[in-house]
Structure 1
Amino acid sequence: MKLSWNWLNEYIDLRNYRPEEIANVLTMKSCEVEGVEEFLPHLDDILVAEVKSVKKHPNADKLVICEVFDGKETLQIVTGAPNVEDSKKYPLAKIGVTLPNGLTMKKAKLRGVESYGMLCSAEEIGLEDFILPESPEYGILPLPQELTVGTSLRTAWNLADVILDIDNKSITHRPDLWSHYGFARELSAILDLPLKNRPEEIQINCATFEPDKPIKVEMEKGSAIAYCNAQFRQVHIQPSSIFMQARLLACGMRPINNVVDASNYVMLAMGQPNHAFDLDKLTGPIQINFSKEGEILKTLDGQERKLPAGLVLIRDNSVPVALGGVMGGETTEVSEDTKELFFESACFYRKDIRKAVSQLGIRTEASARFEKGQTPVNAPIAIRMFANLLLKTCPSLEMSDIQEQYN
């Protein structure tokens, strides 16, 4: 498990400590910290630069000569990027800078014209896992015009962070530590420091509505400890902010879109797995019960799974749509056309999750938390956190009241 230093500091003020000191405190008191490392440190050397002019190369049809301002001086850069334009901003690697692929920039002569660095693509500077709408399939990465020329890309996008790598085996017996807030709470007790931004104090900021067609939820006895849900409308699928994508990537999760990313962010923040269904793909009622021998569920990873009897299922009008506490189903997943959500935040019995993991041979971030045991108290809190996160990319977002059921 990976912890973001910046994220920890949102819940507890650790400014008087170095990350290495906290790693030692945790290793001595709570769990083993396997490593402490900077997040994307090479971006300190990649500058925001502005192309001042573009002219044809005299000896090559597919090359152009650019005058590039790096905040201090104007450099001549020869590039073959098809999308370079004057007055636009791009990442610049100057002479002496080493890229993630090991290539070190040197003064070069391309078809007889000297070049003093390179304008870079997202992949060349290690940002290929970010979803950057401006990034073309081929060519250099256009940067937002509001970024300050001469600033490092790490600073411009506020990407500076330190990652603490936790040995998962050392927290198997501590279900409360599978989140940033969980570790902040642990450090609060050890260091006698106050907590801040407590998830349980979150107030919902988005508008509310009464669903025209409420989705009834039927929970079989013994199938779950708690099942909470809410509906959302005025949802617009788009990439998450650079900030949220960076948080997820720092913790080893791939960004997908603003809905899925907000869902995963909640899980990493407070340890509460959850799931978003495309509401238009549901008919209702939602039923939480157990699988029958031989039932089929195609999960989000594209695998068609033949289920044994006795696994917790989420059903839509008797049809399996998710493997409870483990993975959602492909037929109801959020897509670029999604406009409304049915959002689930539940708490399952750890014995049932362990059974599913063991019999199907799959383990997910959600199952890793549920099979350790989680508190049902967090289930409705997670929905409130999700609502406020999604509101940042969907300013017209509306949500229904949170419905709660407990066994």
Structure 2
Amino acid sequence: MTSPLGRRVLLGISAGIAAYKSAHLARLLKKAGCEVRVIMTEGAQAFITPLTLQALTGEAVRTSLLDPGAEAGMGHIELARWAEIILIAPATADLMARLAQGQADDLLTTLCLASDARCVMAPAMNQAMWRHVATRRNARQLQEDGWQLLGPDAGDQACGDIGPGRMLEPEAIMEELFKSPEAAPADSLDARGLSITLTAGPTRELLDPVRYLSNHSSGKMGYALARAAADLGARVKLISGPVALETPPGVERIDVESAREMHEAALRLARQSDVFIGCAAVADYRAETVSEHKIKKTDDQEGLTLKLVKNPDIIAEIGAMQEKRPYLVGFAAETQNLESHARDKLQRKKLDMIVANDVSQQGLGFGSDHNAALLLWRDADGEAAQRHFPATTKAMLARSILAAILEGLPHSQGRTS
């Protein structure tokens, strides 16, 4: 569990009956040693007064974007820079909708858009509102944008309904807020000076001019890793198969289509890299012969036989490098025997670390914005170690994986210049 001591937490409170819990949450944050400043929406003040939060935190509570006194020195920008964590509790359906659309029409939403802080929210609303397709869509969008959602819980609600939508209890929020590697202060994760190369997405292996062999990889996990690495200051090169994703800011993207094209780019860049992360779902086989023209179906044809040949094993070849070998991280997408298959791959391909995930789980892995992972590596003494990351957004998981890589990177390994 990461220590809360000295953490700068900006607590946002929106208009819900659960706002009464925010007073207790502010008290717990202060008791844990956090610096706490509070922003309240106009509606939140109908449920709890700013004076209450001021008394608990010892800091003036901000309620208005257009406060002449506070804004004389661009106060909202200073607050945005000050915060290490923005925690919104409760987060109403209305606030989630506005943030999902990128609106900045009050002080709280403006701060969220102006800050690079870790962003966390604890949703709270009626169970029907939480289940509504619009709210679910907004929740997915927020998670894709990097927000961490804590809850909601299920149970009795103030309106008399029973179901999901209750804000997590303050003690549970505190536990979730500081228990994982992504809770580490931004300045404790530093990848400046590191050269990181990643592969992401699927490959396509042509059969003829209109058909190909491929898989369900969306590239989202690799792109989340590339974005997180760039955010931490690394020089990032992303070798990408065909995906429908925008290039993350600060990332150099190299587009490829086939496994052989990815193989050529990967071996060329691996020798220039401190860390190589093989996240792509590379096709194991390709057609021995690619038809010059579209393969036609005939009336007397009962079936079609394709002869496939092996593609080069990118990650294994990098693992076998004798000189200028980067710290090597592989991925294993499995549907059964997750740990045993991952351990075998870690050993057989001479990886330093492997990230294994069960793609048979509903809502996780291929195409999803969420993932869970088992991380396996060899420690400084060569002993096997592991860490399990429960289901979360790929953006948050990417930060956790990079934290583990930076922790495991040999101190003696020089960073490329």
Structures share fold, TM-score greater than 0.5: no
Comparing both structures, which one devotes a greater share of its residues to helix? 2
TM-score (ref. length: structure 1):
0.28
TM-score (ref. length: structure 2):
0.27
